[in-house]
Structure 1
Amino acid sequence: MLVVRPAGPTDFDALMELALLSGRGFTSLPEDEQTLRARLDLSAASFKAEVAAPEAWYTLMLEDLEAGDVIGVAGVKAGVGLKRPHFSFRVVTLAQSSPTLDKRFDHRALVLVNECAGWSEVGSLFLKPERRMGGAGRLLAQSRYMLIGLEPQRFAEMILAELRGWFDEDGGCPFWDHVASKFFRLEFDEADMMSASTDGQFILDLAPRHPIYAELLPKEAREVLGRVHREGEAARAMLETEGFRFQGLIDIFDAGPTVAARRDDIKTVREARRLRLKLGEDAYGEEALVSSSEIGGFRAVRAPVFIDGETAIMGRDAASALRVSEGDMVQVKA
């Protein structure tokens, strides 16, 4: 059985393995020991409510209980842009007209903005390639919304997700090569690592302050504005199913799109019900997403559940994976 559970300091080796597998451009999983260990420490403190709510960063691990193997990771950051700006490029239309010529021209332009300060973020979703089947990704992705729905007041009214931008088959990033690198004068991997492991002051210092006209960019760069990495299409589809939509914002390094939704409008947050658990036969009822009812002991599984009024009847194996007992409250998304 697969279970989503809180990450802790003992998960370092598993998290580093996932970071190494994630590849270029997966900024939220840097191959840096200090950064990952700090991330795990912060996650443990967040689940214990030992940090201020807006500063919490919850890291979730997807574990195969039978194999004792961690196969995926995801996260929820309660607040972005609080201690450092959360920069994006907004893709805007600038209209120019000439009464003399009786002509109007609309130009796409990239404008540096910091619009998402204070929003919450779902991200860091990554599974081992050989385990991307059988609903594992969906379980991991939806568990983030189950977590948010337990105590919505811990999170912002707007939830964003940043998707990795387009990279060529040879690993090159067209937007970085033709645009961003001109301002930062670094190798992509160095800038990506610094973005994840420093306070981001270099971005504040060097990011362009004036609009960049898309028509002046090479075709290779124009074509990838807001384009999702080939390995991110499934993640984008799952986000859109939950109600996330493109916001006209793209990443300043790889031009990947930012999608967002109102917290209370996210499908899983809206439809999950808090029910009292009753133990029954295994494989009883339709499969549903089920989580424990407290953030501190958060765990989530997909398992057969029969809903009878305000009662959720579920098998003992699933209850054991959730570490809940008969009579406890659980959260169920059918």
Structure 2
Amino acid sequence: MLIIRPCNENDLDDLMHLSHTVGKGMTSMPADEKAWHEKIAASAKAFDYRQAPAPVSTYFMVLEDTDSGHVIGTTAIYTGVGLTQPFYSYKVSTLVSSSLDLSTLRSTRVLSMVNDYTGATEIGSLYLLPEFRRPGVGQFLSRSRFLTFADFPERFGQQVIAELRGWQDEKGHSPLWEHLGKKFFGIEFQEAVTIAALRGSQFISDMMPKYPIYIDLLPEDAQAVIGKPHDSSAPALHMLKKEGFQFNGYVDLFDGGPSVQAETSAIRSVADSQQAAFRIVANVPSDAQQFIVSNQDLANYRCGLVAGYIDEHGTLCLSADSAQHLALHLHTPVRFITMNGSAAAVKHAA
């Protein structure tokens, strides 16, 4: 069974393995044990029900294969973006100029460095080991975060953003970095990503130009990747758009990957999620509906992809094994969404 839960120190070896396999460009998962210890500690603090929600928090969760006990994927929520250090993006905008003498009206796109997302909540660190990339698992990993928003709305901001990795070639080279970022920093792409992950964004403030950059002056291969996701991130972008996220012209400073945004309450899976009582049944049909279910327990948070059905009373019926892995408590409601269609529709049908 696949279960999403908060990370802990016992996951360190698996997390380091994931960091080494994730590839270039993912700043939130550096292959650095000190960084992981800090992230694990920050996540434990965020999930501590005895403390009031902090403005800046890291809710880092892992996908565990309960059969092996190993972590096979990651997903996370970061609150208070840009409150402790600037969160920079490029904003793609259009400048228009005209000349009466030439009878000409011209428009050109420019990149302007901004930190417009200050205070937002970010979803990120979505990664799944290649050998587990089968239908539905990536969707489960992504949509589970939206149940967390619905479970604990007081802990998250009204605006949610997601940064997607930008396009790179088969050797891990970013055309935008090669023709833009490298000109100002004088270092390789992966070195810049590592510095940003381990030391923060001060070097961006120090080195990047503050004036707009005319896109037309960049080589065509660099222009072509502005707002283009990495091949492996394209399905995630498609999934986010189905949830209501929109691209409004913000891209990553390093590789030009798109950033998308949505109002928290308007995210489809947040709005569609339902609370219900549950009960354990002896038999769940082999062709039963797949649900994403959370136990709504911050102290021992669990979210699982499980088979079940809704009975005539609107109760979610699950197997004993599913209830055990989700750490469910009798007489305590669960929250759920369906893997296909809305939870509200399934409940209405029942």
Q: How high is the TM-score relative to the length of structure 2?
A: 0.92
Kept in 2, the 8 Å contact 1:283–1:303? The answer is no
Task: Identify the residue that residue 169 of structure 1 maps to in structure 2.
Answer: 170
Task: Identify the residue that residue 24 of structure 2 maps to in structure 1.
Answer: 24
Distance (Å, rounded) in 2 between the aligned partners of 1:307 and 1:283: 11
Q: Any gaps of 5 or more consecutive residues in structure 1?
A: none
Distance (Å, rounded) in 1 between the aligned partners of 2:267 and 2:165: 21
Kept in 1, the 8 Å contact 2:91–2:250? The answer is yes
Of 115-124 and 32-41, deviating more is 32-41
Task: Identify the residue that residue 299 of structure 1 maps to in structure 2.
Answer: 302
Kept in 1, the 8 Å contact 2:176–2:256? The answer is yes
Task: Identify the residue that residue 323 of structure 2 maps to in structure 1.
Answer: 319
The one-letter code sitting in structure 2 at the alignment partner of 1:78 is T
Kept in 1, the 8 Å contact 2:173–2:189? The answer is no
The one-letter code sitting in structure 1 at the alignment partner of 2:127 is F
SS at match of 2:187: coil
Distance (Å, rounded) in 1 between the aligned partners of 2:64 and 2:298: 18
The one-letter code sitting in structure 2 at the alignment partner of 1:220 is D
Kept in 2, the 8 Å contact 1:163–1:236? The answer is yes
1:42-83 deviation line (CA, Å, top 9, x unaligned): 111111144743211011111111122211001000221001
Task: Identify the residue that residue 57 of structure 1 maps to in structure 2.
Answer: 58
SS at match of 1:302: strand
Of 322-331 and 283-292, deviating more is 283-292
Of 110-119 and 138-147, deviating more is 138-147
CA change 1:122–1:77 in 2 (3 A) is: same
Quote how far apart the aligned CAs of 1:292 are.
0.6
Of 33-42 and 45-54, deviating more is 45-54
Of 306-315 and 37-46, deviating more is 306-315
Question: What is the 5 A alignment of 1:170-249?
Answer: 170-249=171-250
Task: Identify the residue that residue 39 of structure 1 maps to in structure 2.
Answer: 39
Asked if 1:332 is matched to 2:333, the reply is: no
Quote how far apart the aligned CAs of 1:326 are.
2.8
Kept in 2, the 8 Å contact 1:277–1:325? The answer is no
Task: Identify the residue that residue 8 of structure 2 maps to in structure 1.
Answer: 8
Question: What is the 5 A alignment of 1:26-175?
Answer: 26-49=26-49, 50=51, 52-175=53-176
Q: Any gaps of 5 or more consecutive residues in structure 2?
A: 339-350
SS at match of 1:278: strand
Distance (Å, rounded) in 2 between the aligned partners of 1:278 and 1:209: 59
Quote how far apart the aligned CAs of 1:2 are.
0.7
Question: What is the 5 A alignment of 1:239-318?
Answer: 239-284=240-285, 285-308=288-311, 309-318=313-322
Kept in 2, the 8 Å contact 1:79–1:119? The answer is yes
Kept in 2, the 8 Å contact 1:282–1:304? The answer is no
SS at match of 1:169: coil
Q: Structure 1 stretches (4+) deviating beyond 6 angstroms?
A: none
Distance (Å, rounded) in 1 between the aligned partners of 2:189 and 2:159: 30
SS at match of 2:228: coil
Quote how far apart the aligned CAs of 1:282 are.
3.8
Distance (Å, rounded) in 2 between the aligned partners of 1:256 and 1:291: 31
1:216-275 deviation line (CA, Å, top 9, x unaligned): 001111010011001111111111121111121000001000011110011111111111
Q: Tell me how many residue pairs correspond in the alignment.
A: 334
Quote how far apart the aligned CAs of 1:311 are.
2.3
Distance (Å, rounded) in 2 between the aligned partners of 1:94 and 1:55: 35
SS at match of 1:54: coil
Kept in 1, the 8 Å contact 2:53–2:155? The answer is no
Distance (Å, rounded) in 1 between the aligned partners of 2:268 and 2:298: 19
SS at match of 1:53: coil
Kept in 2, the 8 Å contact 1:4–1:62? The answer is yes
The share of aligned pairs that are identical, in percent, is 37
SS at match of 2:55: helix
1:166-192 deviation line (CA, Å, top 9, x unaligned): 111122111111001111222212211
The one-letter code sitting in structure 1 at the alignment partner of 2:305 is R
Task: Identify the residue that residue 342 of structure 2 maps to in structure 1.
Answer: none
Distance (Å, rounded) in 2 between the aligned partners of 1:264 and 1:310: 24
Q: How high is the TM-score relative to the length of structure 1?
A: 0.97
Of 197-206 and 207-216, deviating more is 197-206
Distance (Å, rounded) in 2 between the aligned partners of 1:8 and 1:243: 32
Kept in 2, the 8 Å contact 1:282–1:316? The answer is no
Distance (Å, rounded) in 2 between the aligned partners of 1:94 and 1:282: 64
Quote how far apart the aligned CAs of 1:305 are.
2.6
Kept in 2, the 8 Å contact 1:64–1:71? The answer is yes
The one-letter code sitting in structure 2 at the alignment partner of 1:319 is A
- Considering only aligned residues, what root-mean-square deviation do their CA atoms show, in Å? 1.3
Distance (Å, rounded) in 2 between the aligned partners of 1:74 and 1:51: 22
Kept in 2, the 8 Å contact 1:75–1:123? The answer is yes
Distance (Å, rounded) in 2 between the aligned partners of 1:296 and 1:78: 18
